[in-house]
A and B are shown apart, each in its own frame.
Chain A
Amino acid sequence: MSVADSLKRLARGWRPADDRLLGTCRLAAGGVELVGEEAIVAYFRAHPLALGSDACIVTAAQSLAIFDRDGGAALIADLYDGHIGRLWRIGAPPAPAAPFVAVAFDPDLKQARGDLALEPGDHPELASGWQAPLAAAATALARDWRGDGPPPHRVRAFVLRAWSDDDSAAALLALATWGGGAVRDIGFDYAALRLGGDGRATVVREPPAADPVWSPRL
C-alpha cells in the first residue's frame, strides 16, 4: 500500500495496518496539535476526512500532500523512508484552543516589508522551475487573504514546506495575520497551496479560530 493510500485510510479513521505512522508523529488540525498514533487515530475517528480516488496528490521523497477535489481540505505529511513523521490537516473545523503564552513579534524586521518568507534552500525537493510561480502564488495568497471580519491590517506568509513532482508543486504555509479593526486579532493560520501544470492554483486554508485569545502574560 502506498503512503498516500495509508494516509487516506488514516484520514477515514482507520489505524494504519503497518508502522507507517511514527509513534512520535504530530498532527496539527483546527488550531490544536495532537501527538502520537493513538491521539491521531482517535482524532480522525471523530473527524473523518474522505479523500477519494480523484484527490490530487503531490509527492516527493520527504513530503506528501493530498488535496480533496473540491478544494476544501488538504493533508500534508513529512515523510521519512515512507513513514509519516508529521501531519497537517488544513481546512478542519476549529477546535477549542489550548492555553498559550502570546508573544509580541515583528514579522518584517524592516520597513520595506515583504509579504513572503521563502528560503529556497529549505526546500531541496522543490524544482527550481517552480520557485517563482510558487512564490507568486504564495504572495498573492497573503495579499488577498480575508477573514470573517474587516480586511486584515497585515498578512505575512511563511513557506514551511515546498516540493514538486513531475507536473505539480505544493506548499504548506503559515500566515501571520493582524486582523482589521481597532482591536487586532493576531495569530498564525496554516494554508495549503497546490500549483498544477496548467498554472492553476488550489488553496486550502484554515477557517478562522472561533475564539482567538491573546495573553502575553502568566
Chain B
Amino acid sequence: MTAWDALPEVLSPVGRPIAAQLAEGPRRQPLDGFEPVYRDIVDYIVRCTHRIWEQKDIGLCRTHYGADCQLHTLAGPAIGVETVVQNTVGALATYADRVVLGEDVIWSEDAPGRFYSSHRIISQATQMGDDAGSAPATRRGSGARTIADCVVVENRIVEEWLVRDNLVALWQAGADPRAVAQAAAEVDRAGDPGRHSWRIEAIAETRSGHGARPAPDHPAYGPAAMLAQAFADDLYGAAADALSPAAEILWPGGRHGFGRGYWIGCATQLRAVLHDAAWRLDHFAARPLPHGDVAVALRWSLAGVHGGAGVWGPPSGRGLLVMAVSHTRLRGGRIVEDITVFDEVAVLRQIAGGLGA
C-alpha cells in the first residue's frame, strides 16, 4: 500500500488549470498496463473522463472499463462495460454539452497496481434531450455535484461507486423529486423483486460492522472517527471537535453552512429519522493539497429504519440505505471543509416503497 503522501509529484487537480492538467509528458508514477498517454493515476482519471465525455470518444469505455465491471449507485447496481457505453451515449444524447469540472481526485494504491480514486466533479450541461429520469427536454442548465469512486487496474475501471446530488439535479431540471421518486418506486414494485436484493445485502453489510479502519497516523483517522462518533455512538459534540470552529459544510440538497453546530445539524437531521441506525466506513484515502492542506476521501454507508418524522416526511417504517462519500480538507489536522454527497432521491424512492422490500 502506497503511503498517502508518497509521490508528491502526482498533483491534485486543485488549483491547476485544465490545460496544465492535460499537458502531455513523461510518467510521474509507475502505471503497469496503462496507456502510455497517462502520466499518473490522477491524469488517468481526469484525461479519460475528458476523452470520453468531452471529446465524445465513448467507445474508449471499452478499453477503460473491465468487461464485467460492477457499478454501484443507490438506485441499484449495473454490470458490464456495454452498460457503461450505452448509459454514456444516452447521457450525452440528452446533455450534449456536458463539461466535467473535476474538483479533486483523491487516490490510494491499495495493493500493487490496484488503484482507488475518488473523483469529485460538477458536470455542467444543458438538458437538450429528453431525460428518462425527469422530464422532456427542458433546455435548463444543470450542475449537480457527483463523486465517482473507482477501483482501477491496468487501465481499466473494474468497480465504481457513484454518488450524485440528484435532489439538486432534479430541482435544476424543474422537476418534483418526490414525484420522480414515487414514479420510480412504482416501476420498482413491478416485476421480479429479486433484482433489488442488492439493497438488503448492502444494508446487512452496513450492519456487519466490518468496515475500513484507518490507522491513527493516517489523515483519514480524524474525519472517519468524526462520522463514527456521530452515527455509531451519537456523540455529536465530540465528533464535531474534529472540525475547525468555522469549517464550511456542503451537504447534498443545497445544505450549506458553517461551524461545528451546522455539521451536527446535518448529521442529526439524518439520524433523527433513521432509527436503529448502523454506520460503516467502506473506504478511505488521502492526498496532499496545495498550501499544505490534506484532502481525505471517505466512502461510507448508513442504514436504519425510517422511524421518525423529519426531513424525509412521515415515518414509513422502511429499512433505508444511504451510500455517501465525504471529501474533507484538513488544515493543521482539523477539518476546514466537508463536502458530502449522497443521492437523496434514491432515499425518497426507498421510502416510497421502491428498490425492493
Contacts and interface: CB of A to CB of B under 8 A. Distances in A.
Contact of A158 (B99, B255, B258): B258
B264 interface: yes
Interface residues of B, number: 56
B245 A117 contact: yes
Interface string B25-54: 000000000000000000000000000000
Interface string B242-275: 0011101001111111111110111011000000
Contact of B313 (A35, A62, A217): A217
B258 A122 contact: no
A24 interface: yes
Contacts of A124: 291-292
A100 B253 contact: yes
A100 B261 contact: no
Interface stretch (B213-221, B226-234, B330-338): B330-338
| Interface majority SS (helix, strand, loop, mixed), chain B | mixed
B16 A121 contact: no
B264 A218 contact: no
Given A62-B291, A80-B290, A158-B258, A104 B253 contact: no
Contact of B310 (A23, A108, A217): A217
A124 B291 CA distance: 10
20 contacts: A19-B19, A22-B17, A23-B17, A24-B103, A35-B124, A36-B122, A80-B291, A83-B15, A101-B167, A106-B261, A107-B262, A109-B261, A109-B264, A117-B245, A119-B244, A122-B246, A174-B258, A176-B258, A188-B258, A216-B310
A153 to B, nearest CB: 16
B99 A117 contact: no
Interface in A75-107: 80-81, 83, 85, 98-101, 103-107
B336 A122 contact: yes
Interface in B157-206: 167-168, 171, 177-178
Interface in B130-144: 143
Interface string B87-119: 000000000000101110000000000000000
A141 interface: no
B15 A36 contact: no
A158 B15 contact: no
Contacts of B124: 35-36, 39
Contact of A216 (B167, B258, B269, B336): B269
Contacts of A99: 171, 254
Contact of B122 (A24, A98, A109): A24
Given A36-B122, A83-B17, A216 B311 contact: yes
A4 B264 CA distance: 38
* A83, A105, A174 interface centre (most CB from chain B within 10 Å): A105
B265 A158 contact: no
B87 to A, nearest CB: 24
B334 A119 contact: yes
Contacts of B343: none
Given A83-B15, A103-B265, A218-B348, A121 B331 contact: yes
Interface string B308-344: 0011110000000000000000011010100000001
B320 to A, nearest CB: 13
Contacts of A23: 17-18, 101
> Which 4 residue pairs are nearest across A and B when measured between Cβ atoms?
A80-B15, A100-B254, A105-B265, A101-B253
* A24, A85, A100, A158 interface centre (most CB from chain B within 10 Å): A24
